[in-house]
């Protein structure tokens, strides 16, 4: 049988479990932060530049798919490099289009060129027309 715990032993036990809890919190935070995308070596991280109000914006259409799953897979692949990638369903042609942007004209052309170099074959730069807010 174990002898009863004194106040000194209880304090030591609390310090031990507090330390274990603190280590778990640091580990969990590190695992969460480790999932963030990292820029490639020698490449500056992409930051969204504020668009001028008078500048025309363009979308870069990367591809169009018949299923949402394929479009979502493409979005996940491209999100590693382009944070503004999204899939959108177009009822007119019943396809899921994958877009990057909107960007100013020169940046949209640069992104389109990069995507073509990565192997995307149907890259098109289109004018961006924001949807009006619902009334």
- pLDDT tens sequence across 79-119: 888 888 999 998 888 999 999 889 999 999 999 998 888 88
pLDDT score for 122: 85
CB 98 within 8 A of CB 40: no
In a domain, 106, yes or no: yes
What CATH number should be reported for the domain holding residue 87? Answer: 3.30.70.1070
Task: Assess whether pLDDT exceeds 80 at residue 4.
Answer: no
In a domain, 132, yes or no: no
pLDDT score for 84: 87
- Specify whether 11 is located in the same domain as 68: no
Burial of 109-125, coded b for 16+ CB within 10 Å and e otherwise, reads eebbeebeeeebeebeb
pLDDT score for 1: 63
- Specify whether 30 is located in the same domain as 91: no
pLDDT score for 130: 74
Domain count, the chain: 2
- Specify whether 32 is located in the same domain as 92: no
Q: What does the alpha-carbon distance between residue 17 and residue 40 come to, in Å, rounded to a whole number?
A: 40
Domain carrying residue 91 = 57-127
- pLDDT tens sequence across 36-82: 666 666 666 555 555 555 568 999 999 999 999 999 998 998 888 88
């Amino acid at each position: 049988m174990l002898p009863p715990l004194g106040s000194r032993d209880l304090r030591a036990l609390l310090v031990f479990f507090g330390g274990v809890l603190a280590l778990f919190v640091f580990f969990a935070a590190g695992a969460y932060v480790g999932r963030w995308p990292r820029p490639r070596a020698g490449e500056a991280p992409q930051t969204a530049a504020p668009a001028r109000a008078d500048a025309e914006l363009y979308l870069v259409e990367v591809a169009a798919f018949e299923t949402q799953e394929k479009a979502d897979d493409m979005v996940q692949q491209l999100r590693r490099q382009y944070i503004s990638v999204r899939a959108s369903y177009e009822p007119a042609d019943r396809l899921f289009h994958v877009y990057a942007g909107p960007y100013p004209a020169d940046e949209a052309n640069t992104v389109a060129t990069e995507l073509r170099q990565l192997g995307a074959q149907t890259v098109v730069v289109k004018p961006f027309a924001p949807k009006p807010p619902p009334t």
